[in-house]
Amino acid sequence: MVMEALKIALEVVNEVHKKIKPLIGWEKAGETVKIGADGTPTKRIDVVAEETAIEVLEKYGGILVSEEVGTLNLGEGEYIYVLDPIDGTYNAIKDIPFYASSIAIGYRDAKTIDDLFLGVVKNLVTGDIYYGIKGEGSYLVKENGRKKKLEVNKKSELREISISAYGLSRESLELLKNIRVRLFGATALEMCFTVSGALDAYINLNKNARLVDIAGAYVICKEGNAVITDVNGKPLNMKMDVREKSTIVLANPILHRKFVSILGNKWILKPIAFGVVVKDNKEAIELAKKAINYLKSKNIPVYCDKFLKSIVNEKEIDKKKISHVIAIGGDGTILKAARIVNNEPIPILAINLGRVGFLADFSKEELFKAIDLVISGNYDVIKREKISCKVKRRRYNALNEVVIITKNPAKILEFSLYINNKKVEEIRADGLIISTPTGSTAYSLSAGGPIVDNSVSCFIITPICPFKLSSRPLVVGSQNKVEIELNSDKRALVVIDGSVEEEIKKGERVEIEKDGYSYFVKGKDFYEKLKEFTKMV
């Protein structure tokens, strides 16, 4: 069966090669004749190539997935074909000598790209044929008949390699500045160049690599021991649909991990060491001891906060030496962990022992499963915006909120609210809360503020028991500078995340701006937690 499929694939690419050869460089070959099933313009040369392939495949039956026709039932037949009749259409039209024809084959019931068992890519300029058979390896057959087994190289030093890379940002280019970057304009052929050693990696960060673009080369590269995932190191898992798209990182295992750690999930690399922060109660301490023993059994060093350190006889947390933090307790414990790591990109694995625990993504029963996810690199990180608070030339940062309240109970305060140095409102209230989206489910919510999704970049300004009914919460983009001036003769307290306090008097201001981020290991979805939260309150 495999040899029959290989025969079909070779017949397709060879017939396409013959039919388009006279069209290369012809002006009218590049005319747009329709819009393909994938939503992109179809050129005349694409139509000729695809019709040629269909003519061959109709003899065998099956299902065709191709960029121009979409999904086409060719009648009875046991195979599904994923076709890119011309890989590098623009190059072919302009007679730039770098274009190919690509086809992958699986059985008719194939669901994802990993169900395909054969890939063939023909370089339509040189006549070289690359092919891969699942479980049997990958090969390059030169036009003169010489055959070579393909295996991705073992290079590990970034400064020694050449890559093909699309969609690199200015920041990415800076990180990769010592690497030679080449752009050829033919995805499948560039991927084959990677497994053959002509290139050392293929990267596409644009999320526009389609199933039809990569399917043939995907099988070839996998069989050549290359690693191919999305930019965050996750399997592509593309369905048999012409609309499926993804980012791509393709390289040998060592380079792949390096590129993913630079361009995507930088925490995919094995944890260096964990910090452990706990709530001051028996349950949290006992769970922390179990976590420490579990980490040590995995040969991962552990550091503890000041409180826990004295109990378990471990070293105190040094944020320069840890890669992750486990916080066991309620929201207060998690805020404490965030203060310890400050703005360092150190993900917090938050384990809930509190009642509400909106900041925590994992239950105590999920502790070891969550640790395993981190160790394996199979997890996502979410960023939570923080705010910077300047009071009397001292600067603090907050993950939840900054609260300005009366020092004396039942005494109203008067404030002026400024946004970008412009006075916006005079407010009379018991206090004022300036919260992040993370803090929108904390004190701000209790004071009547809105719940805001963590992905929104903003400040929420919420009066506490305002004098006027018209004093309502205000949502302000976090690119703005917010200042609160105290107009009352009475002194006020500035409370940052419930712990740090400053005292201000009449005429003094509190300045609020966007700060850095706190990083969390992602567990439950925001709206899943919100659903649980609303049931509890």
Return the residue matching tokens 């909120």: 401
* Domain co-membership, 480 together with 438: yes
Cβ neighbours of residue 57 under 8 Å, at least 6 residues apart? 8, 12, 64, 74, 81
503 is a domain residue: yes
User: How high is the pLDDT of residue 356?
Assistant: 61
Distance CA 70, CA 210 (A): 12
**pLDDT over 80 (residue 287):** yes
532 is a domain residue: no
* Domain co-membership, 215 together with 258: yes
Among residues of the chain, what percentage have pLDDT more than 70? 97
The residue range of the domain holding 285 is 274-380+522-527
* Domain co-membership, 286 together with 349: yes
DSSP 162-173: EEEEES--HHHH
**331 catalytic per annotation:** yes
Q: Are 233 and 272 in contact (CB under 8 A)?
A: no
In whole angstroms, how far apart are CA 62 and each of 54, 59, 108?
11, 9, 7
* Domain co-membership, 132 together with 9: yes
Distance CA 537, CA 535 (A): 6
- Tell me the per-residue pLDDT of 24-47, one tens digit each, with 9 for 90 and over: 988 888 888 778 777 778 888 999
Distance CA 308, CA 482 (A): 38
If you average pLDDT over residues 363-383, what whole number do you get? 89
Please state the residue numbers annotated as binding site. Answer: 67, 84, 86-87, 213, 331-332, 336, 400-401, 411, 428, 430, 441-446
* Domain co-membership, 336 together with 250: no
User: How high is the pLDDT of residue 428?
Assistant: 95
Please state the residue numbers annotated as binding site for Mg(2+). Answer: 67, 84, 86-87, 213
For residue 93, give the CATH number of its domain.
3.30.540.10
DSSP 399-446: SSEEEEEESSTT--EEEEEEETTEEEEEEEESEEEEE-TGGGGTHHHH
403 is a domain residue: yes
- Range ranked top by mean pLDDT from 351-355, 416-420, 464-468: 416-420
How many other CB atoms sit within 10 Å of the CB of residue 536?
Answer: 9
* Domain co-membership, 259 together with 282: no
For residue 346, give the CATH number of its domain.
3.40.50.10330
Last residue of a domain, one of 199, 233, 263: 263
154 is a domain residue: no
* Domain co-membership, 363 together with 444: no
* Domain co-membership, 282 together with 226: no
* Domain co-membership, 281 together with 257: no
For residue 187, give the CATH number of its domain.
3.40.190.80
Distance CA 417, CA 509 (A): 10
* Domain co-membership, 25 together with 114: yes
Residue of 38, 331, 497, 515 marked catalytic: 331
pTM tops 0.75, yes or no: no
User: How high is the pLDDT of residue 536?
Assistant: 56
155 is a domain residue: no
Average pLDDT, whole number, for the chain? 91
* Domain co-membership, 469 together with 343: no
205 is a domain residue: yes
461 is a domain residue: yes
- Tell me the per-residue pLDDT of 142-189, one tens digit each, with 9 for 90 and over: 988 899 999 999 998 888 899 999 998 877 777 677 789 999 999 999
DSSP 335-394: HHHHHHHTTS---EEEEE-SSS-TT--EEGGGHHHHHHHHHHT---EEEEEEEEEEETTE
- Tell me the per-residue pLDDT of 107-131, one tens digit each, with 9 for 90 and over: 999 999 999 999 999 999 999 999 9
Tokens of 330: 């309620």
- Tell me the per-residue pLDDT of 80-89, one tens digit each, with 9 for 90 and over: 999 999 999 9
Please state the residue numbers annotated as binding site for NAD(+). Answer: 331-332, 336, 400-401, 411, 428, 430, 441-446
* Domain co-membership, 33 together with 70: yes
For residue 424, give the CATH number of its domain.
2.60.200.30
Count of domains forming the chain: 4
67 is a domain residue: yes
Closest by CA position to 443, among listed 481, 499, 490: 499
Give one word for 509, left, alpha or beta, with left for phi > 0 and alpha for psi -120 to 50: beta
Between 88-97, 355-364, 488-497, the lowest mean confidence (pLDDT) is in 355-364
Between 236-240, 338-342, 475-479, 529-533, the lowest mean confidence (pLDDT) is in 529-533
User: How high is the pLDDT of residue 537?
Assistant: 55
